[in-house]
Amino acid sequence: MYQSEESEIRLENGTVQFSMSSEIIVESSSSQSTNSTSQSTRGSGSLLRGTKATLKTERRRVVCRDMSGRTRVSFKARMQVWLNKDIYIYENSRTCRRHLLNGMFHQDALAKIKSSRSYVKLSKEKIVDWILKVSTRAKQSRQLFNFDEASNYIILLGHTKAEFDSIFALCKGQLKRSRNRSPRNALAMFMMKIVRNFIQERLAFFFGIKNRARVSDVIHRVRKTLEKTLVPDKLGYNRSHMTRDEAITQHNLPFTSKVLSVSDSAVQVVSDGTYCYIQKPSDIERQLDTYCSFKKINLVKMMMTCFLDGYILAADGPFKSNFDNNDATILNGLLLQSDFLGGFLQDDDVLLLDRGFRHSITKANKMGFHTFMPRLLQISKNQMQFTTSDANHSRKVTLLRFVVEAVNGSSASFKGLFQLPTFQQ
C-alpha cells in the first residue's frame, strides 16, 4: 500500500499544482483481496481512496440518473467537473443532451452533479494517462475567461447572464466554432471591446489567442453578424423595428405635448450630432476627411435621433467631420432619404433641434414638419435681448433637448461600435 498526501490537482498559472489537504491511498488488486472492507470493489486495477467519483456505469446518467435518452460525456466535460468540483467521471459515462452546452455541462447541470463514491478504481495505466492529460490541458489552456463556463458577466461585460444569452440567441446560428474561440467567447470579446474598451492585445491574453489580428477578425465577424440579426429589429426607421403607432403609444409623453402645444398623435423626436474619436488614419485623404478643425483632432460624426423619453430611434452615420459636413448639411441629406421621410416621419411630426441646424429649418418646415429650435437674435433689427416669449420658447426647447445630450454622452463610450468605414456623404 502506498500513501501520498497529494490529493487534489489544481490548475494555476498554466501548471499543475497539488494541494496537501488529505491523503490518497492506492491499493493494488492483491491488497484488495485481503481487505474485508473492500469486497465490493474487487477486480483488476488500483483503488484510489479519498478521491470523489460518480458511479461507473453506462446505464444511468451522471446528472439526473435517468436511464433513457443519453449521450457520452466528453473528455472536456469530465475535465470541467474535475477542475470545478473535484469529482472524477469515468470514461463512457452518459448524460442527457439537454445538460450540455457546446459539449460541456452548463451551470445548472454542473451544480447537480454529486459524487457517489469516495474512491476511484482505475488501472495504473489509466491513472498515468489521466495525470498526463490534466498536465497537458493545463499547459495548453491559457484562457483566463471562458464564457462557455461560469464567468462574472456583470464585471466583465456590464450585463447580466440573461441579457448576454438573449443577444447570443440572435447570432447563435451565424457564429461558427473555431479552434481559437467558441461562439459565446466571440460575442464576449466583442462586448468587452465596446463596453470596457479593452485593446486587442489584452483580449488575446484573456482568451488564449496568439495575436491581435485574430481578435480583430473575431470582433469584425461578430459586428457583421449583429448588423444582420440585431440592428434591423432594434434600430432605424424600418417597420421591423417600430411602427408609427408603436412610437406614438409607447414613447410620446403627455407632458411634452402640452409644453410644445402639439397634437398627441404626432411623432416627437429630437436629433443632434455627436463625435466618435478615432486614431489618425495613415491615408492622407482620410486624414483630411476626418480632421475636425473645431476639435483639432480626427473623428467621425454620428447623427442620433431619439424620442423624448430617451429611447434611441436611429443612429445615422458615420459621416465625415470636415468643414463641409456640419449638422445642418447632414440633416438635409437625411431629409431626402425615403425611409426617414415617407417611411416613418410624416407631416405634422415634431423635430426638436439646436441652433446648429438653423440652415435646415426652412427645408424641414417645407416638408411639413413642426420644428422647434432656440430663438436667434435678429441682428438685422439690432436686437440685443430676447423678448419674454422668445426666451421662454428657448427654455422649453433646451429643457426637452437635454435627453439627446444624455444619450450622446452615454453612447460615446462604446468606441468599438464606430470603426472607420466607408463614409456617407
pTM > 0.85: no
Same-domain pairing of 134 and 207: no
- Residue 206: predicted pLDDT: 84
Residue 305 phi/psi, 5-degree rounding, is -125, 120
Instruction: Examine the domain organization and report whether 302 and 406 are in the same domain.
Output: yes
Please give the backbone phi and psi of residue 359, each rounded to the nearest 5 degrees, phi first.
-85, 0
Residue 38 lies in a domain: yes
71, three cell numbers: 449521450
Q: What pLDDT is stored for residue 251 in this prediction?
A: 92
pLDDT at 149: 67
Q: How many domains does the chain have?
A: 3
Contacts 24+ apart (CB under 8 A), 323-327: 323/293, 325/301, 326/356, 327/272, 327/273, 327/303, 327/354, 327/356, 327/357, 327/360
Cell 467537473 sits on residue: 81
Can you say how many angstroms the Cα of residue 212 is from the centroid of all Cα atoms in its chain? 19
In a domain, 425, yes or no: no
Collapse the DSSP code of 85 into the 3-class scheme (helix H, G, I; strand E, B; otherwise coil) and give the result.
helix
The residues of the chain scoring below 50 in pLDDT are 1-24, 29-43, 418-423, 425
* CA separation for the pair 144, 20 (Å, rounded): 25
| Confidence (pLDDT) at 182 | 83
**188 and 129 housed in the same domain:** no
What's the pLDDT score for residue 10?
41
Expressed as residue numbers, the domain containing 347 is: 241-417
Judgement on whether residues 99 and 193 belong to the same structural domain of the protein: no
Instruction: Report pLDDT for 388.
Output: 92
Are both 166 and 315 inside the same structural domain? Answer: no
Is residue 145 included in any domain, yes or no?
no
